[in-house]
Structure 1
Amino acid sequence: MRVRMTSVPARPGRVNEDFTGATPTAAVLLDGAGIPGAEAICGHGVAWYAHRLGGCLLGLLPLRPDRSLSAVLAEAIEQVTAEHRDTCDVADPISPSAAVAMLRLSGELVEYLVLGDTVVVLDTSDETPLVVTDPREVVISRSYQPAYEATAEGSDERRQVLRELRAHRNRPGGFWLAKDDPRAADEAVTGNRPAAELAGAVLLSNGASRLVDRFGDKDWAGLLAVLASGGPAEVVRRVRQAEARDAVAADDATIAYCTGFDED
């Protein structure tokens, strides 16, 4: 399997809270979730959490070939949580967390996992790509959007709206992220496809997938075509153009583009 990657912070000099990496048979991508005030809960920070969890996954995947991606993610969450449980309030709702995408070539199958608002797109032999998402956070957040917009920035009313939204995190009926509880991994969207049916696959943070799912500049097939011709850096370049055009704040943008599933 061949993997081309890029990860670009929202702006120069800003810490990148995304992570991506790969082994010969797997790729992982994490989108760290930062909430104002989290530094008082965990001195390590969101970037530390995303990078530690991503590195742990890369270390575990070759050692756990017979375990499901969900089980590997659960083990990684437990290990990273143990690293800062004694120094940080890991159970606090605003402690660092991350959305996760994983891909593994396992024999004749390509396995995938999505938890949170990352995206996996499989380039199938059909004309329409298979797009794997976990929309729960987006759906719940949209339900709070009117109340959020009706309050003033920095007001007690807005903070209350945010507290109510965050109360849905890692709760039944809510949305799920990698954080302190390994049971969140059981809530991930998972599946597999025969490797022979796939020309490639791509893992995207929500800062990169917005070229399609926010700006609508491309559909998913069009995004795969840009990747095939220009690589991940070209997708990010187009994302930055769209952000500037629509006056949208830039976000960390990360892509892992995987091909060559049928190569030895």
Structure 2
Amino acid sequence: MVSVAARPGRVNEDFTGATPTAAVLVDGAGIPGAESTCRHGVAWYAHTLGGSLLSLLSLTPGSSLPALLAEAITQVTDVHRHTCDVTNPISPSAAVAVLRVSDGDLDHLVLGDAVVALDRPAGPPIVTTDPRELSVSRTYEPTLAAATPGSDEYNRILADLRARRNQPGGFWVAKDDPRAADEAVTGRHSVSELSAAVLLSNGAGRIVDPFGLTGWPQALAVLASNGPAALVDQVRRAEAEHATRPDDATIAYCTDLGGP
């Protein structure tokens, strides 16, 4: 595993952790001005949600991944619903990726813009993403570009975009409503078909999309030969070359899946 803040001195708003049979990655998301809605902050939300998920994965191995994520969202929301404005559209939220190995199968879940990539000795990798947030955001790009930043019109457009979070026809993230977990993208594969599995925050997965500097087979080859830190180093170089604002970058790379 590796998890690196966007820049030195900045709080890392990602979380990753593992048990012998499961791995979790949580990519916290915040909006400027959200401090007034939650006194705890984005990093607290991501780390608390990740810890709750790991505990539930260990204690209730028979439950489905969406059910476990729903319970974790409920637990975290209950902790701060009486002190924070948890229903506010700009209060802390997160993308989530989970995998679990049981009885020869690997189950995985993605909610939001995290990535699960499964490497196979035969055939291309299986990559699971949730493109809805990006798709919805792109529909707002022309009107945002035409408006003056900070103007009433610009702020109205932003508010409308944010209001589509966790709404039908919009996009879904972990926040205050456990029903969002039912919208997660899930899958199951036999571990006998897999050589490795990796969870990536969007800050790490950007080396493939949107930068397009490598494909998933090449990215997984870097992980297999040099480990996750080497891939994050490539991301940082790409951000510098593209003059792109750095993001927290987190990778959990799992190779012993219990297969033959």
TM-score w.r.t. the length of structure 2 is 0.98
| Counterpart position of 2:20 | 24
Q: Distance between the aligned counterparts of 2:144 and 2:195, measured in 1?
A: 42
| Counterpart position of 1:149 | 145
Superposition map of 1:220-239 within 5 A: 220-239=216-235
| Counterpart position of 1:88 | 84
Superposition map of 1:90-239 within 5 A: 90-239=86-235
| Counterpart position of 1:257 | 253
- CA deviations 1:191-234 (Å, max 9, x no partner) are 11001110001100000000001111110000000000111100
Q: What is the aligned-residue RMSD (CA, Å)?
A: 1.1
Q: Distance between the aligned counterparts of 1:47 and 1:262, measured in 2?
A: 32
| Counterpart position of 1:35 | 31
Query: For residue 41 of structure 1, what is the amino acid of its counterpart?
Result: T
- CA deviations 1:35-92 (Å, max 9, x no partner) are 1111001010011000000010011101111100000000000000000000001111
How much has 1:148 moved relative to structure 2?
1.3
Q: Distance between the aligned counterparts of 1:252 and 1:155, measured in 2?
A: 29
Query: For residue 129 of structure 2, what is the amino acid of its counterpart?
Result: T
Q: Distance between the aligned counterparts of 1:33 and 1:158, measured in 2?
A: 21
Q: Distance between the aligned counterparts of 1:93 and 1:106, measured in 2?
A: 36
- CA deviations 1:144-184 (Å, max 9, x no partner) are 01111122222222211110101110001110000001010
> Structure 1: 5+ residue runs without aligned partners?
none
Q: Distance between the aligned counterparts of 1:152 and 1:124, measured in 2?
A: 48
CA contact (8 A) 2:192 2:259 kept: no
How much identity, in percent, do the aligned residues show? Answer: 65
SS of 1:60's equivalent in the other structure is: helix
TM-score w.r.t. the length of structure 1 is 0.96
Query: For residue 230 of structure 1, what is the amino acid of its counterpart?
Result: N
Q: Number of aligned residue pairs: give it.
A: 260
> Structure 2: 5+ residue runs without aligned partners?
none
Query: For residue 147 of structure 1, what is the amino acid of its counterpart?
Result: T
SS of 1:211's equivalent in the other structure is: coil
1:48 correspondence with 2:44: yes
SS of 1:140's equivalent in the other structure is: helix
How much has 1:243 moved relative to structure 2?
0.5
Superposition map of 1:62-81 within 5 A: 62-81=58-77
